Amino acid sequence: MSEYDYDLIVIGAGPGGYVGAIRAAQLGLKTACVEGRETLGGTCLNVGCIPSKALLHGSEKFEEAASGTLARYGVKLGKVELDLAALQADKADAVKGLTGGIEFLFRKNKVDWLKGYGAFKDAHTVTVAGKDYTAKNVVIATGSSVTPLPGVEVDNDKGIIVDSTGALALSKVPAHLVVIGGGVIGLELGSVWRRLGAKVTVVEYLDALLPGMDGELRKEAAKIFKKQGMELKLGTKVTGAAVKGKQATLTLEPAKGGGAETIEADCVLVAIGRRPNVDGLGLSAIGLELNARGQIETDHDFRTKIGGVWAIGDCIPGPMLAHKAEDEGIAVAENIAGLTGIVNHDVIPGVVYTNPEFAGVGLTEEAAKELGEIKVGKFPMMANSRAKTNHEPDGFVKVIADAKTDRVLGVWAIASVAGTMIAEAALAMEFGATSEDIAYTCHAHPTHSEAVKEAAMAVTGKPIHI
Ligand code: FAD
Ligand code: NAI
């Protein structure tokens, strides 16, 4: 009989943890996954990627109908009304289907779900709901939660000052939504409520939206969201909030210092980033320390400094993205099983699912320039036949290549389907492609993806359609 109850215990059933647990089981390891939520799937499936995309999709349909743009295609509508309860029900249905699907996959792959929050007793023992379980290996995949903003107290039940979870569940459209933080969550959820009828003001500390993305995309983002009717207060910080009845009053100051102003809102979304979930995990019991950002450090194989303890996903350094967590889940399981699991952290695409979408993979132009000489090719969506036909003029594709080797270092795109287009750029970069490789790859016509080919052709100064 084995010395341990399990070969592997994974703590947390988000995209990192559940995928890692399933892969480990596929590789023949006796595996359990600890999850404290009532449903599997973590932040992503319960209160993140999936519900936000359901509301983005639904609100896009509503705006298309309500704004009258469908009339151009001969679709004549009478008075368009919003049934928010129906939209929320559709979102709940998507979440239920997908979280239930993970439960099915656990049963199919014989992964035991240990229900409750887990804490280390020692490096090979995890206590869950008062019971100890042992394992040869433990993977920490506890994810992240909203970073609080001192002086701006979130209360999702009241629905006045909310975090992303509260903003996904509002039962009425706010008259004025103030979003604190012009990052991914602020712009996606700000877009949802603007489309449904709210006035939306985004307060961002930095001088540009979407930190981490290429500078040109960040500049263009401000233009596009302003054009869509969002009010942007860049270079501005929120220093306090007071709630009286059903209204909040926020105090704002220029980030660089200066006079304060106040603004009123009936809903405030705090979206200033997320931080790792490590409280209550018992890390001190195993002597595992955190870095200055509160993250768990690992080596390239996702091993922590403690033997038999591994970590993946949002609780370790790197972008907080579901697909990054999933790939790390697969890699860590393969490493534990004695195979070679690798994640190429230089090629992790990122997408903002607004309309248009903002997407990128690899280095920004700013970062690439710091490393050496580069060549850049750009192609506007306005000159792409499919985007033009669909009346989607905003955006461009930009390919950044090494000036000497022509190897692609980064690709950035703003387009209605930029999130889908960026997949080919990631694949090309993973295979070490040059811009010429992309330029000489046949792309189907008429597709938005032809803009990727033309941007690659532009690296050598020879796009056709501009
Ligand atoms: P999580 O998904 O956070 O899962 C961790 C799980 O561990 C949780 O279920 C938690 O309950 C559980 N847990 C924590 N501590 C314990 C414990 N001690 N014992 C047992 N269980 C524990 N990313 C994208 O790539 N695309 C998107 O479109 C996208 N949209 C998002 C929208 C929103 C509103 C938010 C908030 C996030 C979004 N993200 C998106 C980010 C994405 O959700 C995360 O990067 C991803 O969920 C991280 O996966 P994870 O497995 O590391 O952690
Ligand atoms: P973020 O890091 O994307 O943006 C936070 C923004 O808040 C930054 O622009 C920052 O400068 C600003 N900020 C910080 N403090 C501030 C203050 N006091 N006042 C005003 N602005 C302030 O974080 P966000 O949007 O909360 O998202 C968290 C994570 O979730 C991200 O890391 C992202 O990767 C992930 N996510 C991914 C999505 C996707 O892939 N489509 C969708 C939603 C979330």
**Which residue's CA is minimally distant from atom 3 of ligand 1?**
143
For the chain, domains (ranges, CATH) are 6-146+275-336 (3.50.50.60), 161-272 (3.50.50.60), 350-459 (3.30.390.30)
Find how far residue 368's CA is from the centre of its chain.
Answer: 23
pLDDT band at 77 (very low <50, low <70, confident <90, very high): very high
Beta-bridge partners for 119: 127
Distance (Å, whole) CA 255 – CA 266 = 24
Residue range 285-317, pLDDT digits in tens: 999 999 999 999 999 999 999 999 999 999 999
Mean pLDDT of 93-113: 98
**Which residues have CB under 8 Å from 139's CB, separation 6+?**
8, 9, 10, 11, 17, 20, 302, 309, 310, 311, 312, 332, 333, 336
Looking at residue 152, its pLDDT comes to 96
User: Do 221 and 209 form a contact (C-beta atoms < 8 A)?
Assistant: yes
pLDDT band at 331 (very low <50, low <70, confident <90, very high): very high
Residue range 108-122, pLDDT digits in tens: 999 999 999 999 999
Mean pLDDT of 425-432: 98
275 pocket-lining for ligand 1 (C-beta < 6 Å): no
User: Do 29 and 339 form a contact (C-beta atoms < 8 A)?
Assistant: no
Beta-bridge partners for 412: 360, 398
313 pocket-lining for ligand 1 (C-beta < 6 Å): yes
Query: Closest by alpha carbon to 326, among 11, 6, 23?
Result: 23
Residue range 224-277, pLDDT digits in tens: 999 999 999 999 999 999 999 999 999 999 999 999 999 999 999 999 999 999
Mean pLDDT of 395-413: 98
**Which residue's CA is minimally distant from atom 43 of ligand 1?**
44
Q: Among all ligands shown, which has an atom nearest to the Cα of 314?
A: 1
Specify the ligand 1 atom closest to the Cα of 189: 34
Is the peptide bond prior to 380 cis by the omega test (within 30 degrees of 0)?
no
Specify the ligand 1 atom closest to the Cα of 323: 25
**Which residue's CA is minimally distant from atom 38 of ligand 1?**
48
Distance (Å, whole) CA 193 – CA 176 = 9
Residue whose tokens read 């449904």: 196
185 pocket-lining for ligand 1 (C-beta < 6 Å): yes
Mean pLDDT of 333-358: 98
Specify the ligand 1 atom closest to the Cα of 117: 19
Looking at residue 2, its pLDDT comes to 82
Q: Among all ligands shown, which has an atom nearest to the Cα of 169?
A: 1
What distance in angstroms lies between residue 48's CA and the mean position of ligand 1's atoms?
7
**Which residue's CA is minimally distant from atom 47 of ligand 1?**
44
190 pocket-lining for ligand 2 (C-beta < 6 Å): no
Distance (Å, whole) CA 23 – CA 36 = 21
- Is residue 1's pLDDT more than 70? no
Residue range 111-156, pLDDT digits in tens: 999 999 999 999 999 999 999 999 999 999 999 999 999 999 999 9
What distance in angstroms lies between residue 431's CA and the mean position of ligand 1's atoms?
29
% of the chain at pLDDT higher than 70: 100
**Burial tier of 372 (Cβ tally within 10 Å: 0-12, 13-18, 19+):** exposed
Q: Name the residues annotated as catalytic.
A: 445
411 pocket-lining for ligand 2 (C-beta < 6 Å): no
198 pocket-lining for ligand 2 (C-beta < 6 Å): no
51 pocket-lining for ligand 2 (C-beta < 6 Å): no
15 pocket-lining for ligand 1 (C-beta < 6 Å): yes
Mean pLDDT of 219-223: 98
Find how far residue 268's CA is from the centre of its chain.
Answer: 21
**Which residue's CA is minimally distant from atom 17 of ligand 1?**
117
Residue range 185-203, pLDDT digits in tens: 999 999 999 999 999 999 9
Distance (Å, whole) CA 411 – CA 455 = 9
For the question of whether the overall pTM of this predicted structure is more than 0.85, the answer is: yes
% of the chain at pLDDT higher than 90: 99
- Rg of the Cα trace of the chain? 23
Averaged pLDDT score across all residues of the chain: 97
372: left (phi over 0), alpha (psi -120 to 50) or beta: left
